[in-house]
Amino acid sequence: MSTEQALAKFIEHSVTWHQATAQPLTAWADPASPSPCQQQWLAEDQVSWLPVAQQPVADFSNIEQALELTLHPSIKAFYSCFYAANMAAGHPRGKLALLLPWNQDDISRLQENIIGHILMKQRLKQRATVFFAVTDDANIMLSVLNSTGEVFLEHVGKEVSEKIADDLPSFLASLTPQVYDACFD
């Protein structure tokens, strides 16, 4: 299964689960920075939303040129499928939130953060990783090891050492939907 297929399957399962449990997908939103996934304003700064396919899809060639590094295809696929708010999920190791781009401006910020993250890893003489999720521990994220596509728990500023999946599609397939928790903000 490809990253695109695994992410689409998780998103479909999550949307169905939220609807079945009468817990709509909601997110904080800035009126000055709308998203294609926004459905309805619920309050001054909160919207309901549903994931939508990116059109056009995000392009990561600027990062690859700036860093003289080819990003792993799975991480490019992950960040170029959908516009959505961050999506909560459960994994056998704990709670997490998938970091998904809200709009085109968010993709630009994401790309800047990926560049900064990889430059930090280079300065620390560590293997390059690209984050894709946060956990309920502010010092631990989930990342793809760029050279292999394996998924690791990554402690901020440390070399990755705890592999939790052979690849991003199998990791995504292991997730269960959850209600978004403020601990991820």
For residue 27, list its beta bridge partners.
47
What CATH number does domain 3-184 carry, 3.40.640.10, 3.40.1580.20, 2.40.110.10, 3.10.20.30? Answer: 3.40.1580.20
**Per-residue tens of pLDDT for the chain, all 185 residues:** 999 999 999 999 999 999 999 888 999 888 899 999 999 998 888 899 999 999 999 999 999 998 999 999 999 999 999 999 999 999 999 999 999 999 999 999 999 999 999 999 999 999 999 999 999 899 999 999 999 999 999 999 999 999 999 999 999 999 999 988 766 66
| Distance from C-alpha of 126 to C-alpha of 123, rounded to nearest angstrom | 8
- Residues 93/163, Cβ–Cβ less than 8 Å: no
- Single out the residue of 103, 92, 154 nearest to residue 126, CA to CA: 154
Q: Which residues are within 8 A (CB) of 90 and not within 5 positions of it... i.e. 6 or more apart? A: 96, 175, 176, 177, 178
| Distance from C-alpha of 15 to C-alpha of 114, rounded to nearest angstrom | 28
Q: Which DSSP category does 58 fall into?
A: P
- Single out the residue of 176, 86, 92 nearest to residue 131, CA to CA: 86
Secondary structure (3-state) at 163: strand
- Single out the residue of 43, 48, 134 nearest to residue 88, CA to CA: 134
Q: Is the pTM of this model over 0.75?
A: yes
Write down the pLDDT at residue 182.
Answer: 67
Write down the pLDDT at residue 179.
Answer: 86
Secondary structure (3-state) at 115: helix
| Distance from C-alpha of 57 to C-alpha of 101, rounded to nearest angstrom | 11
- Residue 177 one-letter amino acid: P
- Residue 115 one-letter amino acid: I
| Distance from C-alpha of 64 to C-alpha of 178, rounded to nearest angstrom | 33
